[in-house]
Amino acid sequence: MNNPFKGWEIINVDPGNVVLCDFCNRDYTEDTTSVGGILFSGHACCPDCLPEFQKGIKKYKEEKFVQATANENETFRNFVYRIRKGDF
Ligand SMILES: [Zn+2]
């Protein structure tokens, strides 16, 4: 019998644990080394995007939208987990 769903991959992830950059969509869930990041108007910005992103913040004077910044030596992943707990 032909299975129309053959070849479809069922991805079962717990959305509560996945850490993605809201700007480049890179998956940081397993990344325990990348340090830094900010929360900008409800969106998590990873350390990779940050240098370019901060230029824009300065240019458009949007500093007030930066809600949280990763602590020194805090990984982006842990930073996002902390934000999700509402601890910022
Ligand atoms: Zn990014």
Q: Is residue 1 domain-resident? A: no
Q: Which of 81, 21, 79, 30 is closest to 50 using CA atoms?
A: 21
17 band by pLDDT with thresholds 50, 70 and 90:
confident
CB 39, CB 45: distance < 8 Å: yes
Distance 5 CA to ligand 1 centre (A): 33
Q: Is residue 11 domain-resident? A: no
CB 57, CB 66: distance < 8 Å: yes
Q: How many domains does the chain have?
A: 1
Range of the domain at 50: 17-88
CB 64, CB 38: distance < 8 Å: no
pLDDT, tens digit, 9 for 90 and up, residues 23-79: 999 999 999 999 999 999 999 999 999 999 999 999 999 999 999 999 999 999 999
The owner of tokens 């959305």 is 15
Tell me the pTM.
0.80
Q: Is residue 9 domain-resident? A: no
Ion ligand 1: residues, CB within 5 A, are 21, 23-24, 46, 48-49
**How far is Cα of residue 79 from the mean position of the Cα atoms in its chain?**
9
Q: Is residue 4 domain-resident? A: no
First CA to last CA across the chain, in angstroms?
Answer: 54
Distance 8 CA to ligand 1 centre (A): 28
Q: Which helix (H) or strand (E) holds 39?
A: strand 38-40
